[in-house]
């Protein structure tokens, strides 16, 4: 027997309709290029989204068409989210930080018919247009007066001119909630990027889950500033969850440096934000340097990479900001776990709570997680056993766009590519990416553990650990360190003997690994603007067959054999490192 309840489709258009009707005068604040701040309300945003939906219909957009964006977190991008998906088309957010070849591949593979782009991406657009014949309409996210003069694409439309003549009345169509709503491609670290195709149903369920008290804990009283990019995994689903709740939304645009973020936080009284650790490191360094107060900011949701405990401690103890770890991936929409305490943890010691904080969090209802060994056998959730992390749930990908290869096992589990532990309370901890684990002398060494431990040293600003070939141990870890003061870098002995009151367990691992596996310590200045040379002990030939930790691309061999090259990325800058050439660094080696 079926129940007697209404069966209304879960559609993204219902979010903006709800906000416009019930939170009509709540503000949306958007910082544009040049720092200009634009303000309007949910009611006005809804009307402009309907104007855009009418304009796209006039251009011939059909349900199922892919409509691409190369855009920052702004009010126009927000309107595109709802106008495109609400009309039954697919909002395809393109990550501008990918290599151009990947961007070109993504747009051709998706067969986008429309491209919206911010003016700051004009160079990408100029190169992309001749390679993407499926894109019939190029629309600059500006008005005619601010259209870039160096734009070479013919017949470009501007956003404001496009929507100006349109009616702000539009009847959102009704369709199956399983209809595709948005498309986001993975970064393609192991081959070509792969498209994750979200549905209206998965997006609405994810928004509900994200807003819950033990997750993002969103309230209509909050002022939320997503610093997670709208071009990647739908800004962690926040544009939808925030709209469902109806709280004030602050969109920071492209300025994500510490000074710019602090200005917005102070001016708009932001209470909650989210983003990768690098962003909050920049904010912390800014307020420490200037002595400014952090203001109303109380919570940070941090994901994309493990947040060092040292940064979490500084934010909490010095600035009163509670940091919450989130884990997810493009394929999980991305919410999978969120790290909030249970009541029993109130009685835990500070050290015990710190040990819990560094985990990626508790399993979110709507997702299931398990860990398996190399033969696919389930491992216990005891916080000790670690294995390949598997996930399934209501907003988890079942496949990739236009890719026939099965990605689920026979029980519907998706292999995340992470190695993790899960404890009896459901707290999951990523020990490494499967491809980044350093396998040395029969042991699996976590690059994440070592990186977080190194960053805890007061003289270390940033750190990365990579695995390099070794004829005896197969691989051994290499620690690359950015010192806070290049003139006084920490020595190898400093890092080994560093007192570790708050993260003793993690640094115990670091001490053992350094001594047993002979880590090489490399130092270079914080400006990261030069090319540096590194000599490995014994002139070992170092091979980088793929991505390991912070190595993001393998390059052709150096002209003078047997030296290879790799790129190591810190923050948003890239440094070319010829491996095996004569040393020009302050280099400590065994």
Residues with catalytic annotation?
186, 331, 439, 444
Strand partners, 408: 414
17 to each of 187, 419, 554, how far by Cα in Å? 33, 41, 48
Does residue 500 contact residue 507 with C-beta atoms inside 8 Å?
yes
Please state whether 430 falls in left (phi above 0), alpha (psi between -120 and 50) or beta.
Answer: beta
Residues 172-177: contacts with CB within 8 Å, 24+ apart? 172/11, 172/13, 172/14, 172/17, 172/53, 172/86, 172/87, 173/63, 173/86, 173/87, 173/88, 174/9, 174/11, 175/9, 175/11, 175/63, 175/88, 176/9, 177/9, 177/10, 177/11, 177/201, 177/204
Q: Where is 100: in which H helix or E strand? A: helix 100-110
Smallest CA-to-CA distance from 236 within 209, 266, 257, 260 is with 209
Measured CA to CA, the distance from residue 255 to residue 28 in angstroms comes to 17
φ and ψ of 545, to 5 deg: -70, -20
| Calpha distance 176→69 (Å, rounded) | 24
Angle at 87 between CA 82 and CA 89, to 5 degrees: 95
Diameter of the chain by CA atoms? 77
d(CA 336, CA 393): 9
Cβ-contact 141, 68 below 8 angstroms: no
- Annotate 113-128 with DSSP letters as a single string: SEEEE-GGGHHHHHHH
Q: List, in sequence order, every residue forming a beta bridge with 387; answer none if it has no partner.
A: 420
């Amino acid at each position: 027997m079926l129940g007697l309840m209404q069966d209304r489709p879960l559609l993204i258009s219902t979010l903006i309709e709800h906000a416009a009707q019930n939170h009509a005068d709540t503000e949306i604040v958007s910082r544009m290029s040049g720092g200009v701040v634009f303000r309007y309300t949910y009611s006005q945003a809804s009307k402009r989204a309907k104007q855009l939906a009418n304009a796209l219909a006039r251009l011939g957009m059909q349900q199922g068409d892919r409509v691409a964006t190369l855009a920052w977190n702004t009010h126009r991008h927000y309107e595109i989210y709802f106008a495109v998906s609400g009309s039954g088309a697919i909002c395809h957010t393109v990550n501008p930080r990918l290599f151009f070849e990947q961007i070109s591949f993504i747009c051709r593979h998706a067969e986008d018919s429309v491209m919206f782009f911010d003016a700051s991406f004009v160079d990408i657009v100029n190169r992309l247009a001749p390679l993407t014949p499926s894109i019939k309409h190029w629309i600059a996210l500006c008005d005619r007066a601010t259209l870039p003069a160096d734009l070479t694409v013919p017949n470009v439309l501007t956003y404001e001119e496009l929507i100006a003549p349109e009616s702000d009345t539009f009847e959102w169509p009704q369709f199956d909630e399983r209809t595709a709503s948005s498309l986001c491609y993975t970064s393609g670290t192991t081959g070509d990027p792969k498209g994750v195709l979200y549905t209206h149903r998965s997006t609405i369920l994810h928004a509900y889950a994200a807003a819950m008290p033990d997750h993002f804990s969103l309230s209509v009283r909050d002022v939320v500033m997503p610093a997670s990019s709208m071009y990647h995994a739908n800004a962690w689903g926040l544009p939808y969850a925030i709209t469902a709740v109806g709280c004030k939304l602050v969109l920071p645009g492209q300025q994500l440096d510490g000074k710019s973020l602090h200005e917005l936080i102070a001016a708009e009284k932001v209470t909650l934000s989210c983003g990768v650790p690098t962003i909050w490191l920049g904010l912390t360094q800014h307020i420490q340097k200037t002595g400014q107060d952090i203001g109303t900011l109380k919570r940070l949701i941090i994901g994309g990479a493990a947040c060092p405990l040292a940064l979490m401690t500084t934010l909490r103890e010095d600035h009163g900001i509670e940091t919450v770890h989130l884990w997810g991936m493009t394929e999980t929409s991305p919410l999978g776990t969120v790290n909030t305490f249970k009541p029993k943890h109130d009685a835990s010691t500070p050290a015990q709570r710190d040990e819990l904080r560094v985990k990626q969090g508790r399993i979110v209802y709507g997702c299931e997680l398990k860990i398996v060994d190399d033969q696919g056998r389930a491992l216990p959730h005891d916080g000790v056993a670690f294995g390949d992390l598997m996930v399934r749930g209501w907003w988890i990908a079942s496949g990739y766009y236009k890719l026939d290869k099965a990605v689920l096992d026979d029980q519907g589990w998706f292999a995340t590519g992470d190695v993790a532990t899960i404890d009896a309370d459901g707290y999951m901890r990523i020990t490494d990416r499967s491809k980044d684990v350093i396998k040395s002398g029969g042991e699996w060494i976590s690059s994440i553990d070592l990186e977080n431990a190194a960053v805890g040293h007061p003289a270390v600003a940033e750190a990365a650990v990579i695995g390099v070939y070794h004829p005896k141990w197969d691989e051994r870890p290499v620690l690359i360190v950015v010192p806070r003061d290049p003139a006084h870098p920490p020595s190898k002995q400093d890092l080994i003997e560093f007192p570790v009151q708050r993260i003793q367990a993690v640094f115990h691992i670091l001490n053992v690994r350094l001594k047993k596996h002979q880590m090489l310590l490399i130092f270079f200045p914080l400006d990261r603007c030069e090319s540096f040379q590194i000599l490995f002990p014994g002139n070992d030939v170092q091979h980088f067959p793929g991505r390991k930790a912070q190595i993001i691309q393998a390059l052709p061999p150096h002209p003078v054999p047997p030296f290879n090259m790799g790129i190591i990325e810190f923050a948003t800058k890239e440094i070319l490192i010829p491996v095996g050439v004569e040393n020009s660094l302050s280099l400590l080696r065994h």
